[in-house]
A and B are shown apart, each in its own frame.
Chain A
Amino acid sequence: MMIPKKMSAARYAALMGLIFALAGALNTLENLLSVFLPAGMRVGLSNIVIMAAILCINLPSAAALVLLKAMLVLFTRGVTAGVMSLCGSMAAFLVTALLFRRTRCSYILISVLGAIAHSAGQLCAAAVILGTAYTFAYAPVLIFASVGTGIFTGIVLKAVFPILQKSVLDAKKQ
C-alpha cells in the first residue's frame, strides 16, 4: 500500500530514508532560524517536505513521514515538543492532503491554510496540555505568521515540484 506502483522496494526505502533525513535536517535548521523570529513562530521548512511527499509519492508515505518527524522531535526536544509537533503536523497534513486531492486551490492558498491548520493543531495541543483555553489568545499572531510562512513555502513547493516529480517518478524507469 505504501510503495507506489512501478517502484522497487529498495528504491522506495532509499527514497524515504533520504526524505526523512531531509525533513530532520530542515527541522534543525528551522530551530536555529526561529531564534530570529518572534516567539512561537517557525518558517515551516520541514512542512515543505511533507507537502512534497503528498504531491510526489502518496498519502500513506506522507503520513508516515509526519509520524517519523514527531518521533524525531520527541527524542531530540522532549515530550511536550513531540506532542505539539505531532498535533500540528497531523492537522496540516490532513488539510493540505484534502486540498491537493479535492480542489483546484493554488499552491500558496494550500500552504497558507496548511500553516494555519498547523498553528491550530498546536494551539489545541497546548490547550490540552495546559488545561486552559487561554492559549487561543495567541491565535491572531500565529495566523498572521502562518500567512507569511505559507506564502513562502507555497512558492518553494511550486518551484521544486517539477524537479522532484522528474527525479522521483522518472528515475524508476532506469
Chain B
Amino acid sequence: MENNERKLLRLRDVFIIVSIIAAVLVFYTLLPDSGGGTAVVLHDGGVIAEIPLDGSGEYTFPQVPDMVFTAGDGAVSVTASGCGDKTCIRTGKISGQGEAIICVPNKIVVQIKGSTKESGVDAVL
C-alpha cells in the first residue's frame, strides 16, 4: 500500500497490542512461585552447579573463573564478571521460578528451579 496513507495507529492495532500484553501477563502469572528452590547454573548447555536459594554465600566455578555468583535472601545474582557488557550483573537478583540470568559471552545461564517436581523447562515453555 501507499505509505503516505498509512496511519500512525489504528483502533484495531491498539487491540492487537493490548492482547499481546495481556497474553504475556497471563503467562507470567501462571509461572508458579518458588519456595526454597535452587538456582541451576548451566555452562554451554550443561548443568555445572546448583545453588540452594535458602543459603547464602559466594560461588565461583572453574568453567568461568571470572564470574562470581552470590546467593542470599532467597535470591541469586551475578556480582562479578569479566564479560563485556555486564548484562548478567545488571539483571540483578532473581528469585521467582522461571526467571533467568543470561551471560552470552561466558555461555552461562542461571535459572531458578522450584522445589516442586512439575517445574522445569517444559512448564516454562
Contact = CB atoms under 8 A, between A and B. Distances in A.
Contacts of A165: 3-4
12 contacts: A77-B84, A78-B84, A104-B6, A106-B10, A107-B7, A131-B44, A132-B45, A134-B102, A135-B100, A138-B100, A143-B24, A154-B8
Given A39-B91, A106-B8, A135 B24 contact: no
A108 B105 contact: no
A40 to B, nearest CB: 5
A144 B21 contact: yes
Contact of B87 (A40, A103, A104, A105): A40
B10 A133 contact: no
Interface of B: 1, 3-4, 6-10, 13, 16-17, 20-21, 24, 27-28, 42, 44-46, 84-85, 87-88, 90-92, 98-100, 102, 104-105, 107-109, 111, 121, 124-125
B19 to A, nearest CB: 11
A147 B25 CA distance: 13
B9 A108 contact: yes
B125 A39 contact: no
A63 interface: no
A137 interface: yes
Contacts of A132: 42, 45, 109
B124 A136 contact: yes
Contacts of B92: 39
Contact of B17 (A112, A134, A158): A112
Contacts of A104: 1, 6
Contacts of A55: 3
Contact of A135 (B4, B6, B84, B109): B109
A80 B24 contact: no
Contacts of A108: 8-9, 13, 17
Interface in A130-174: 130-138, 140, 143-144, 147, 154-155, 158, 161-162, 165
A162 B98 CA distance: 44
Contact of A161 (B3, B102, B105, B108): B3
B18 to A, nearest CB: 9
A130 B105 contact: no
A129 B106 CA distance: 10
B20 A130 contact: no
